A and B are shown apart, each in its own frame.
Chain A
Amino acid sequence: MTTFGIYAVGAALLLTIGIRGALRRKHLLRRILALNIIGGGAFLFLVLLGYRESGEAGPDPVPQALVLTGIVVAVSISSFAIVIARRLNARTGRTELPEEGLD
């Protein structure tokens, strides 16, 4: 398998694992981790877009810039989510989001 193929399959696997985890897991920390795995898949895919067969010009820098911004967004959302989850846990002792209705 080519280098490109290995990374492509890796990205697809990460995405699948992440989406499955985000849907199946209820524990908040696991959910946040699963979403980060989706992010990992997305970033790997984007880096892969910069791949060029002939090595002289080097990889395309635009997707790398996208990934960098994406990582910043993912880190800030994750840290914010963990802060809220911790506060929720401190106040209610719950580690999952309530499933019941609005009333």
Chain B
Amino acid sequence: MVAAILLPMGAACVAILVRGYAARIALVTALLTAAVSVVTAIAVVRNGPLEYAMGGWRAPLGITLRVDGLSSLMLLLSASVAVPVFVYAAAHYARARSDERQGADFWPLALLLWGGLNGVFLSGDVFNQYVAVELTSLAAVALVTLGEGDAALSAALRYLLSTFAASMFYLLGVGHLYAVAGTLDIPSLAGTLEAEAASYSAAALITVALLFKSALFPLHFWLPRAHSAAPSQVSALLSSLVVTSAAYLFLRLWTTVFVSVAVPVVGQIIGGLGACAIVWGSLQALRQQRLKVMIAYSTVAQMGYLFLVVPLVTSALSTPGGGALWGETAWSGGVYHAIAHALAKAALFLSAGVIVGAIGTDKIVGISGIARQLPVATYAFGIASMSLIGLPPSGGFVAKWMLLTAAFKSGQWWWAIAIAAGGLLTAGYVFLVLGQGLSQASSDRDVELKSTSKAIEYSAFALAVAALALGVRVAEPLALLRVGLPIEMP
């Protein structure tokens, strides 16, 4: 379990020292870490949730790592996104000699990012999560600075300042939690919080911090610039994993620690922000002229769905029998959406990277007729879009179906409007791109396409297929998710 954190971080240190071999070290580490994630998942399925006390020090004093079904799924997710992205990056840097320096910087940072993410997923106490989140954010900002030009620098700085503010709020919130409960261990915190002023301020501070980090409307302003200015392999990691890790923390804390302060109106406000994010993000995506900016706005929209889970699950927790009726469906739907979106979004950014790299511009009008020249990348884009819209049989469809079911069963039908509107708007902006790509209009392209490699195209394709496969094999991930369900449904 510790290996999932230490392997990438250790490899990051080695990759800084021997820069010439960084790519090889990273690829070997990626496979090893992925293997560790799979072994952990198997152990969780067989033996239930696992605990590991670092250095032999137990919970109140030491640092405890915990894996339940949810953590294990997130571990698998980070591995299934990171491995194809690493293959893409290795193939990209092996070809683009001009990016050699960037490549040498990419590997240690990407490994550090992965280690930080796994740290977020495995941490069993609020403070350890804070440290892991900060590591992740710093690595993420450093990766953004690898992008070209002044735009990347100013985007990275905006991201860094937002994350700085978020970090201080989070720390204050952690302090409040400690003052109220006298512990930072999540299972001990769960259920001990009483509905008093300090609990509310703890919840408010941590919520604001995580809304910044997961770029929920209206704190999303840093995301479109940062995610579009970064190199595509970086955008894929950031837009699929980094924001998801913050949303993961948000969902975990709100469904365990903060349950007692989650009065209906708070749930409705968070859900309302989620709905605004879906509509606003999709509308902005529809307006964009540039491919990567469009995909980045789509992330803003898709993160909104995750926050609809809060009003649905917390209302189920306060209703007798609500868990069986819609609580578990909403919870599974939300997590499933996070996973399906992460895979699809990484596929979109990688295939956008292939297309932009080949034609040399990321204007959407520039890609007309690209389907004939780059069929694999275009199909990858198409399949990933299917999941994003929520068409069957994709992971996105299963997730939205569960969320819709939960919305109707709980009587909160208004969320269904946002879910459906989001699907339609998503269809709008991805078809704008696919329509251009599939058009026959300018088959006589005057610019010669830069050549691309099979490994690059197929790494995007593999991610898109994974997002699709989630819609076909539903039982296994959901069974894993149910192991050691952190919330107790009435």
Q: Taking beta carbons and an 8 Å cutoff, which residues of A are in contact with B?
A: 22, 28, 31-32, 35, 38-39, 42, 45-46, 49, 62-63, 66, 69-70, 73-74, 76-78, 80-81, 84-85, 87-88, 91-92, 97-98, 102-103
Contacts and interface: CB of A to CB of B under 8 A. Distances in A.
B145 A73 contact: no
Contact of A98 (B154, B156, B293): B154
B239 to A, nearest CB: 15
Nearest to A19: B165
A62 B178 contact: yes
Given A81-B157, A102-B228, A102-B293, 14 more contacts: A39-B168, A42-B169, A42-B171, A42-B172, A66-B175, A73-B131, A73-B167, A74-B164, A78-B164, A80-B138, A92-B150, A98-B154, A102-B288, A103-B290
Contact of B165 (A38, A70, A73, A85): A38
Q: Which 6 A-B pairs have the closest CB atoms?
A: A46-B175, A42-B172, A84-B157, A88-B153, A70-B171, A77-B164
Interface residues of B, number: 36
Interface of B: 127, 130-131, 134, 138, 141-142, 145, 150, 153-154, 156-158, 160-161, 163-165, 167-169, 171-172, 174-175, 178-179, 184, 224-225, 228, 288-290, 293
A22 B165 CA distance: 9
A57 to B, nearest CB: 14
Contact of A35 (B164, B224, B225): B164
A64 to B, nearest CB: 11
A9 B242 CA distance: 36
Contacts of B158: 97
A38 B168 CA distance: 7
Contacts of A77: 134, 138, 160, 163-164, 167
Nearest to B144: A84
Nearest to A69: B131
A66 B127 contact: yes
A45 B174 CA distance: 11
Q: Is the interface of B mostly helix, strand, loop or mixed?
A: helix
26 contacts: A22-B165, A35-B164, A42-B168, A42-B171, A46-B171, A46-B172, A46-B175, A49-B175, A63-B178, A66-B171, A66-B175, A66-B178, A69-B127, A70-B168, A73-B167, A73-B171, A76-B138, A81-B157, A81-B161, A84-B156, A87-B153, A91-B150, A97-B158, A102-B228, A102-B288, A103-B289
Contact of B154 (A22, A45, A69, A97): A97
B134 A73 contact: yes
B164 A85 contact: no
B101 to A, nearest CB: 15
A91 B290 CA distance: 25
Which of A32, A77, A85, A98 has most B Cβ within 10 Å?
Answer: A77
Contact of B178 (A49, A85, A103): A49
Given A35-B165, A97-B157, A102-B224, A84 B145 contact: yes
Contacts of B290: 102-103
A86 to B, nearest CB: 10
A81 B153 contact: no
Contact of A84 (B153, B169, B174, B179): B153
Contacts of B145: 84
Which of A35, A39, A84, A92 has most B Cβ within 10 Å?
Answer: A84
Contacts of A80: 138, 141-142, 160
Contacts of A28: 157
A90 B184 CA distance: 44
Contacts of A32: 161, 164
